[in-house]
Amino acid sequence: MQTKSDTTLQWLDVQDQRLDWLNVADWEQREGGFQPVRVPKAWRDQWPAKTARRGMSAAGIAVRFRTDSTKLVFSVTFVDSPDSPPSSPAAGWERSRPPFFSLYRDGKYLTSIAALTHFERQEVMIYNDREFSSEAEIQVLLPFYYRNAEIVMHGIGIEPGARLLPASRDLRPRVFFHGDSITHGHGVTSPRETYVRQVADRLGCVGINYGFGGTAWADNIVAQTIASRTDWDVLVIMLGTNSFAGADADGRPETAEQYAQKYEAFLATIRAAAPKKPILCVTPILNRADIERGGNQNGERPELYREGITRVVRQRQIADPNLYLADGLQMVDDPLFLLVTDRVHPNDTGMHRIAEGVAAALKPLVEKARQNFSRD
């Protein structure tokens, strides 16, 4: 049964111009509200179907505004997973995990709030605190988990007499993160814990999450989409894990050498549009394919894919001083840092180690961007 909106609140349209949304490429009407999506339909229609679906997840989506309201409520509907009923016990466990919102006040993290795990309209109390009576900048991170984090927004509720003002303009460097489920955030509980958000908080930059769980095969159409955007100062690419199986987006056999050629074309496409912006390439972290014996369907081991990525980047670095490489195995090299359920995704400690490693590699690039750029 759908809940009715609390009539004692002042309900805001989610597209109110005073709200500053991060990582929303478009709003699409759905189920009596609007769904924020990270990839516009015109691009999604050209993408592999699974990647396109993940582009509708709310990973990395956040909203900022100023208010003196002592109460904040989000009216939302979570969209049911497309693989319902779950295809495996693991998928069922993932789908049942509560979707969490994370709350920041004046730039400081306060808490994360669990919504109900169901797919009907609900009102999520983000906070109800009389001590919040002074005006402050509020930021709320939307749930990221890709099996239950497609979200339809029906409204944002504040107290009837409360003020709503635009947040101050965010002039910090913007770092664009592209990857698979590890970038998407799989393995941790709240959106604040993803390595993308941890890095952004550590370095004082804006993180744009372009992670797509279960996909990210270095398809050139995705590179073209990234190349079409000008809203980033530094790019992080963390690809390769989902190609260890030896197949492309359509399930066709793909060797490590063929993957390396795709990776080269992926970089070339982005470089043609952004010839001087810093790009950090991160090789895959430890994976169960490293631990298990034998090769993939082509008889190849993960090291061949890492070697291919490294070779492509090293060769391009000869003429590209703004291309950088980080070794994912230096960040996560032990099953202790992986979820025991799959030995693919990092657990909380593993995600923290990725954040540390990526932040260390990014720090000089972000500082340089901070000194050199001016935001129009």
Peptide bond into 160 cis (omega under 30): no
pTM value is: 0.95
Q: Which of 56, 22, 25, 21 is nearest to 225 (CA)?
A: 25
User: CA-based Rg of the chain, rounded to a whole angstrom?
Assistant: 21
Tokens found for residue 279: 């790009």
Sign of CA dihedral 39, 45, 51, 57: positive
Q: Among 150, 222, 125, 154, which residue's Cα sits nearest to residue 14? A: 154
pLDDT in tens, the chain (376 residues): 345 567 899 999 999 999 999 999 999 999 899 999 999 999 999 999 999 999 999 999 999 999 999 999 999 999 986 665 666 666 666 667 789 999 999 999 999 999 998 889 999 999 999 989 899 999 999 998 766 679 999 999 999 999 999 999 999 999 999 999 999 999 899 999 999 999 999 999 999 999 999 999 999 999 999 999 999 999 999 999 999 999 999 999 999 999 999 999 999 999 999 999 999 999 999 999 999 989 999 999 999 999 999 999 999 999 999 999 999 999 999 999 999 989 999 999 999 999 999 999 999 999 999 988 655 5
Q: Give the residues across from 209 on adjacent strands.
A: 177
Would you state the pLDDT for residue 94? 65
Angle at 308 between CA 303 and CA 314, to 5 degrees: 120
Query: With helix as H, strand as E and coil as C, how does the chain read?
Result: CCCCCCCCCEEECCCCCCCEEECCCEEEEECCEEEEECCCHHHHCCCCHHHHHHCCCCCCCEEEEEECCCEEEEEEEECCCCCCCCCCHHHHHHHCCCCEEEEEECCEEEEEEECCCCCCCEEEEEEECHHHCCCEEEEEECCCCCCCCCEEEEEEEECCCCCEECCCCCCCCEEEEEECHHHHCECECCHHHCHHHHHHHHHCCEEEEEECCCCCCCCHHHHHHHHCCCCCCEEEEECCHHHCCCECCCCCECCHHHHHHHHHHHHHHHHHHCCCCCEEEECCCCCHHHHCCCCCCCCCCHHHHHHHHHHHHHHHHCCCCCEEEECHHHCCCCHHHECCCCCCCECHHHHHHHHHHHHHHHHHHHHHHHHHCCCC
Smallest Cα–Cα separation from 123: which of 187, 74, 66? 74
> Looking at residue 1, what is its pLDDT?
35
- The pLDDT of residue 80 is 80
- Rounded-to-integer distance, Cα 270 and Cα 227, Å: 5
Read off the amino acid at residue 62. Answer: A
Contact assessment for residue 211 and residue 181, using Cβ atoms and an 8 Å cutoff: yes
pLDDT at 326: 98
Average predicted confidence (pLDDT) for the chain: 94
Q: Among candidates 278, 298, 183, which has minimal Cα distance to 233? A: 278
Q: How far apart are CA 324 and CA 362, in angstroms?
A: 9
Q: pLDDT digit string (tens) for 13-42?
A: 999 999 999 999 999 999 899 999 999 999
